[in-house]
Amino acid sequence: MIDESKLSSLLLENITLRPIEPHIYSVYPQEGHTNTYDKIWSFYDLVMGNRYYNRIMWGYRIADFSSFCHDSLASSSDGWVLDAGCGSLVFTSNTYTGYSKRPVVLLDASLQMLRAAKSRLSRLNGNVPANMVFLHGDVLHLPFKPGSFRTILSMNVLHVLPNINGVLSELKNALADGGTIALTSLIANDRFGDIYPKLLSKTGQLIPRTPNQILACFDELGISTSHYVRGNMLFIRNV
């Protein structure tokens, strides 16, 4: 089991870990830190868990995420894994279930999303896998020592944040030399004239960017990448 002292070994000196409940810790100094997903988590879970919604509205298959996550986990046989903005694991819980090779930190700024992820993993696995721990924290202010993670996965977080460069700098700093970083983001790519993404962007739930805008941010930080697109989803990793 990843206990407080094992998790603390990854943290910067000025960071204090606050236990929330079994398997969940917070790096926020006080209770009460919330974000939008604390309110919409069950709706998100219901809608995004629907394969027809994803296929018809966004043009990708839910299974595309499983294989992306699987390949990221398989990219190394040792070192820590970070899932930054893991949410409720609605797309990836199957891939994480039964994965025991490396320690995994599942980080999110929404405690409700983390609780949903924990309960989903527990349901599928029978319990929370001993190599996994949930951390309530901010991708824009990661609490980790530089180079702590051999693999960093961050799915569908870029498109909800205005400051991509801020997120990428943080992730790059947390990545070990030679490590793998793998991200996905919803994009604008002219499917149906991108009417639906434009609608969601008006509600503040999505910042639609083109693949080139996102790739340019990786370039600026000196991260070489390869990528592919499925419908409105960009899958990108460093090379």
Ligand X SMILES: C[S@@+](CC[C@H](N)C(=O)[O-])C[C@H]1O[C@@H](n2cnc3c(N)ncnc32)[C@H](O)[C@@H]1O
Total of residues contacting ligand X (CB under 6 A)? 20
**84: helix, strand or coil:** strand
Q: Is 45 near ligand X (CB under 6 A)?
A: no
Q: Which of 103, 91, 111, 87 has its CA nearest to residue 21?
A: 111
Q: Which is nearer to ligand X, 140 or 221 (CB)?
A: 140
Side chain identity, residue 182: A
Interacting stretch for ligand X, rule CB under 6 A, among 3-11, 73-81, 157-165, 212-220? 157-165
Among positions 82-101, residues that touch ligand X (CB under 6 A) are 85-87, 90-91
Hey, what are 58's tokens? 């966004």
Q: Which is nearer to ligand X, 76 or 154 (CB)?
A: 154
CA angle 101, 105, 110 (to 5 degrees): 145
Q: Is 156 near ligand X (CB under 6 A)?
A: yes
Q: Is 157 near ligand X (CB under 6 A)?
A: yes
Q: Which of 24, 10, 8 has its CA nearest to residue 128?
A: 24
Q: Which is nearer to ligand X, 95 or 110 (CB)?
A: 110
In b/e form, how buried is each residue of 36-52, taking b as 16+ CB within 10 angstroms? ebeeebeebbeebeeee
Q: Is 35 near ligand X (CB under 6 A)?
A: yes
Q: Which is nearer to ligand X, 138 or 150 (CB)?
A: 138
Least distance (Å) between residue 119 CB and ligand X: 15
Do the beta carbons of residue 118 and residue 23 sit within 8 Å? yes
Do the beta carbons of residue 86 and residue 106 sit within 8 Å? yes
Please select the residue that binds ligand X; options are 109, 128, 133, 158, rule is CB under 6 A: 109
Least distance (Å) between residue 114 CB and ligand X: 8
Q: Which residues contact 150 (CB under 8 A, 6 or more apart)?
A: 76, 78, 79, 80, 81, 102, 176, 179, 180
Q: Which is nearer to ligand X, 91 or 235 (CB)?
A: 91
Q: Which is nearer to ligand X, 68 or 80 (CB)?
A: 68
- Sign of torsion, CA 57 171 81 228? positive
Q: Is 207 near ligand X (CB under 6 A)?
A: no
Q: Is 105 near ligand X (CB under 6 A)?
A: no
Task: Look up residue 20 and give its DSSP letter.
Answer: E
Q: Which is nearer to ligand X, 96 or 218 (CB)?
A: 96
Least distance (Å) between residue 183 CB and ligand X: 10
Instruction: Kindly list the residues in this chain that would bind ligand X in the complex (CB under 6 A).
Output: 35, 37, 48, 85-87, 90-91, 108-110, 113, 138-140, 155-157, 160-161
